[in-house]
Structure 1
Amino acid sequence: MAATSSFISSLTKRLEGKVALITGGASGIGECTAKVFAHHGAKVVIADIQDDLGHSVCEDIGSSNCSYVHCNVTNEDHIKSAVDKAVATHGKLDIMFNNAGIVDPYKPRIIDNEKSDFDRVLSVNVTGVFLLEVVA
């Protein structure tokens, strides 16, 4: 019985001592991931542009396990600041979850789309992931 209890305990804290930076962590999949990572023992840094939601998620998780930094993943300086905050706060960075992403409203015809909308989606969903890998 004690071995089972110890096994279950080790599973529930399998991220103990790890530090995770989650882009887009203020809502949706990122929010759920932040909560799961914290539940499993990780210190979480949420990087997002949704400041109120990001702070709210951190309050839900608890300030001892979670912090928030404003970060637009299309901005290299924001990304560097987010990584620097994680390292300055926790001394290291173990996990980067490139979760930030956007979609535009569905338009049935390609000609109904604007190039600026397409560029914005690519900037967040593709370039943002690239920048986080390069800057970090």
Structure 2
Amino acid sequence: MFIRALQLALREKSSRIIGPGSPSFVVNAFDLFGSELAESAELAEKVAVITGGASGIGKATAAEFIRNGAKVIIADVQDDLDHAVAAELGPGTACYTRCDVTDEAQVAADVDLAVSRYGQLDVMFNNVGIIAGSRQPGAEPGFEIRGAMNKHWGVPGPLSLRHCRQRPPLAAVDLADFDRVMAANARGVLAGLKHAARAMVPRRRSSIICTASIAGMVGTAAADPEYSASKAAVLGLVRAVAAELGRSGVRVNAISPGAVRTPLLMKSLAAWFPEKSAEEIQQMATEDSPMVAGTALEAEDIARAVYLASDEAKYVNGHNIVVDGGLSVTMRAK
């Protein structure tokens, strides 16, 4: 069925598929086979741990997993929100545990919780991702990313999502930020891989999914070097362990989103552009989309990770599924 979906994708002019031998294997037609298989995906009796599961991509994926029959452990650090999300998703199917992924012991405890409560761990979704603290809205008052800075950086025309966050020069990078971002985005993923594998290898049929980003694949002035390096590391980790774990029946894959319209993105845009109305902020989040005008990448689009978690994808291993509407292909072509 996967091969048939890829054959369908090859007929789409807007899709590009790079052969599996390429180090940047890309499937920009994820929605094609995702929609083809979502209804038949079976996660019944499966148990999943989702780091960063309280909002955005994590929450949307938790809801999708539960709709497909899985039990989900939400691992996050937003205590009040996490408890509310677990209650919203259903106390019988979702629970919350506090987890700072920079602490390996807490990641190990999440895996142990899944095994002790449900007797197994079938899916690990390493989804936590942070950006450099000095680039977060309000953290660097002397560097306003608005009209004047757009002029400074030589950005023509009206503001858009692509230009709303031009990064400071390399000389302004704080290596403490680099260490912090790498600890969460790369080291945290490695901890998830290590401890999930410990529980999964004996079962010989499990799935680990890691959230990467197109920022780890292509250069962009909007992405911090800290963040880009951390997401490139995620892709490297997936490739490095996929063959080893695949021999034990544990598949490891990555998903690389473009700019997803999550609450974090919308809040960031509102902070960067306080003079903009809610409608203008919404427009900024959609106008750079390479897809049909007015459409945006939503967290639910990434939640099609349900396919990679299911037995439908039993032979999909070591790949990076790009969900960006073709944006990364467009960026390469320029």
Query: Which band: TM-score by shorter chain?
Result: 0.7 to 0.9
Distance 2:41 2:176 in 1: 44
Instruction: Say which of 56, 67, 74 aligns to 2:95.
Output: 67
CA shift digits 1:92-126 (9 cap, x unpaired) = 00000010111132542122221111111111111
Match of residue 96, structure 1, among 111, 121, 124: 124
Asked whether the equivalents of residues 86 and 92 of structure 1 are also in contact (C-alpha less than 8 Å), the reply is yes
Report if the CA contact (8 A) 1:101-1:124 is conserved.
yes
- How far is the alpha carbon of 1:13 from its aligned partner? 7.0
Cα offset for 1:135? 2.4
Trace 1:46-125 onto structure 2 (pairs within 5 A).
46-104=74-132, 105=135, 107-125=167-185
Tell me, yes or no, if the aligned pair for 1:24 and 1:100 is still in contact at 8 Å: yes
1:69 is paired with a residue whose SS is strand
Going by fraction, where is helix more abundant, 1 or 2? 1
- Give the equivalent residue in structure 2 for 1:42: 70
Structure 1 residue 23 corresponds to structure 2 residue 47: no
Identity percentage of aligned residues? 46
Answer with 1 or 2: which has the greater Rg: 2
Q: What do the CA deviations read for 1:15-71 (whole angstroms, capped 9, x no partner)?
A: 110000001101110011011101111000011111111111101111100011100
Three-state SS of the structure 1 residue aligned to 2:127 is coil
- The whole-number CA distance in structure 1 between the counterparts of 2:114 and 2:179 is 29
- 1:130 aligned onto 2:158: no
Q: TM-score, normalised by structure 2?
A: 0.37
Point out where structure 2 has 5 or more consecutive residues left out of the alignment: 1-38, 136-164, 197-334
- 1:4 is matched with which residue? none
Q: CA deviation at 1:12?
A: 6.7
Q: 1:134 to 1:26 in 2, by over 3 A?
A: same
Q: Tell me, what secondary structure is at the counterpart of 1:45?
A: strand
State the superposition RMSD in angstroms. Answer: 1.7
What CA distance in whole angstroms lies between the structure 2 residues aligned with 1:14 and 1:131? Answer: 27
Show structure 1 runs of 5+ residues with no match: 1-10
TM-score by length of 1: 0.87
